[in-house]
Chains A and B, each alone.
Chain A
Amino acid sequence: MSLEPPLVFVVDDDASAREGIEDILQSVGLPVISFGSAREFLHGPRRDAPGCIVLDVRLPGTSGLEFQKILIEAGIRLPVIFITGHGDIPMSVMAMKSGAIEFLTKPLREQSLLDAVNAGIEADRLRREGSKHVSELRQRFELLTPREREVFALVVTGRPNKQIAAQLELSEMTVKVHRSQITKKMRATSIVELARMADRLGLSAEKS
């Protein structure tokens, strides 16, 4: 299986530090784009690929932590690896709480950086696959008729056809037909799988 090539972003205002990080990542074959400020990153070229951001905590203008908030608001969900020149413990705690995957101190240990970046890329890959899967499921769900959706919501609660039929005032036969339509349209192989799909689509919340 060929994986989509990753892309790592480096955001650090200090040229020495930034270029050094860029060099290490490139030396292990990772594509990198780097920026000298948060603003440059937000306005710069970005390719939609699995990746992560290596981000200096202290940037002129916008702090790394503020930047992380801006990213979340902008819907950019790349994992963040914070780096800092100051061994700043309160800030590292805040960073980890706000969802950073790692907090590294400069000068960076090569292996820690590579491990963190690889973990970031992997996490992003999983998230992207997950969300791709959900959007596919959503497309399938769109194919269901309103009645089928009603039946779907009840089927996944594990209720027998007879009960569903009674609740929706349909014949048991009709429920069966709906049910096979639903399974076909959703490309599910079992009730269990249908239930899992409903879960990912957030339907389990709607039923109650």
Chain B
Amino acid sequence: MALLAFLTTSIVTTVLAARIRRTSEEELRNTRAELARFARVAILGELTASIAHELNQPLAGLVSSGDACRRWLGNQPPNIERANQSLERIVRDADRASKVVERVRGLAKNTPPQKAAVSVKEAVREVIVLTRGELEQNQIRLEEQFADDLPLIWADRIQLQQVCLNLVVNAIESIKDLRGGPRNLLVRAEKDASDSVLLTVSDTGAGLDSDHTEDVFNAFYTTKPEGMGMGLTISRSIIEAHGGRLWASGNVPRGAKFQFTLPRCREGAI
């Protein structure tokens, strides 16, 4: 009887414990996703001017092409061929503007992380575009290098984009106030020895304190007056949740270098 009671209790306890663990793991996951979303929205906030610029360019094209189209049609005789060309550009530019909106909305949306086969090149390029105004305004030269043999990775596209945006925005910040010297930013993706994708974001900015490169990943560590100090902490947790690694080092001859790996999409996973 005592034995039975003990067994029952321990079974109940085990089941309960498992349930509690499951709940708290789920809660933890939710909290993490929520936090990640906050950080994404914060980055978008920093990029408002840049995103506005990225929208304004196709809109400027649209307006001019529209004006031109009206003139081609008003000519005597109307130049239908040129008017059509203007219209084609109008459609193209409108499409470009709506893609920008789509990307921003994707980053701001509150959806649970969802993994799928992702092309790193495509995903990264989509968000780098959002920083273009910021790059131009600060006279920063961006170089993109994407290897031809990049494998697809198994990842949440939005979270991957978030990490990239975070690294690129940090790099811009570190170059922004420099006086003199090169103002370069490199984003490179390649395949590493273990068949993972290795992404590097390096800059010629102010750089890191070489003895404390790990500190930058600590929560609330920040060098920006308005920074929360969560960006890199969250980025690292995202990459680790994807089975990858994120680390920092010094860039030669100057600046900082952030790199992360993401395991390739395994056969059958697609």
Q: What chain A residues lie within 8 Å of B58 (beta carbons)?
A: 16
Q: What chain B residues lie within 8 Å of A107 (beta carbons)?
A: 56, 59-60, 62-64
On whether the beta carbons of A24 and B68 are closer than 8 Å, the reply is: yes
For residue B83, give the distance in angstroms from its CB to the closest CB of chain A.
Answer: 9
- How many residue pairs, one in A and one in B, have C-beta atoms under 8 Å apart? 85
Answer yes or no: B139 CB below 8 A from chain A CBs.
yes
One of B60, B96, B137, B141 near A20 (C-beta < 8 A): B60
Q: Which of A127-179 contact B (CB under 8 A)?
A: none
Answer yes or no: B190 CB below 8 A from chain A CBs.
no
One of A28, A59, A61, A106 near B60 (C-beta < 8 A): A106
Which chain B residue has the least Cβ–Cβ distance from A111? Answer: B67
Known: A27-B71, A85-B57. A20 touches B64 (CB 8 A): yes
How many of chain A's residues have a CB under 8 angstroms from any CB in B?
A: 25
Q: Tell me the bound Cα distance from A14 to B60 in angstroms.
A: 10
For residue B47, give the distance in angstroms from its CB to the closest CB of chain A.
Answer: 14
Q: What chain B residues lie within 8 Å of A58 (beta carbons)?
A: 136-137
Q: What chain A residues lie within 8 Å of B63 (beta carbons)?
A: 20, 107-108
For residue B97, give the distance in angstroms from its CB to the closest CB of chain A.
Answer: 9
Q: Tell me the bound Cα distance from A18 to B136 in angstroms.
A: 16
Q: What chain B residues lie within 8 Å of A108 (beta carbons)?
A: 60, 63-64
Q: Which of A7-31 contact B (CB under 8 A)?
A: 14-21, 23-24, 26-28
Answer yes or no: B29 CB below 8 A from chain A CBs.
no
On whether the beta carbons of B71 and A16 are closer than 8 Å, the reply is: no
Q: Tell me the bound Cα distance from A18 to B53 in angstroms.
A: 15
Answer yes or no: B133 CB below 8 A from chain A CBs.
yes
Q: Could you mark each residue 130-150 of chain B with 1 if its beta carbon is under 8 Å from any beta carbon of chain A, else 0? A: 000101110101100000000
Q: What chain B residues lie within 8 Å of A23 (beta carbons)?
A: 64-65, 68-69, 82, 85-86, 89
Answer yes or no: B33 CB below 8 A from chain A CBs.
no
Answer yes or no: A46 CB below 8 A from chain B CBs.
no
Q: What chain B residues lie within 8 Å of A61 (beta carbons)?
A: 141
Answer yes or no: A60 CB below 8 A from chain B CBs.
yes
Q: What chain B residues lie within 8 Å of A14 (beta carbons)?
A: 57, 60-61
Answer yes or no: A110 CB below 8 A from chain B CBs.
yes
On whether the beta carbons of B141 and A16 are closer than 8 Å, the reply is: no
On whether the beta carbons of B72 and A16 are closer than 8 Å, the reply is: no
Q: What chain B residues lie within 8 Å of A85 (beta carbons)?
A: 53, 56-57, 60, 133
Interface residues of chain B, those whose CB is within 8 Å of chain A, are 49, 53, 56-65, 67-69, 71-72, 75, 82, 85-86, 89, 92-93, 96, 133, 135-137, 139, 141-142
Q: Contacts A16-B93, A20-B68 given; 4 further ones with Cβ under 8 A?
A: A16-B57, A17-B64, A24-B67, A60-B135
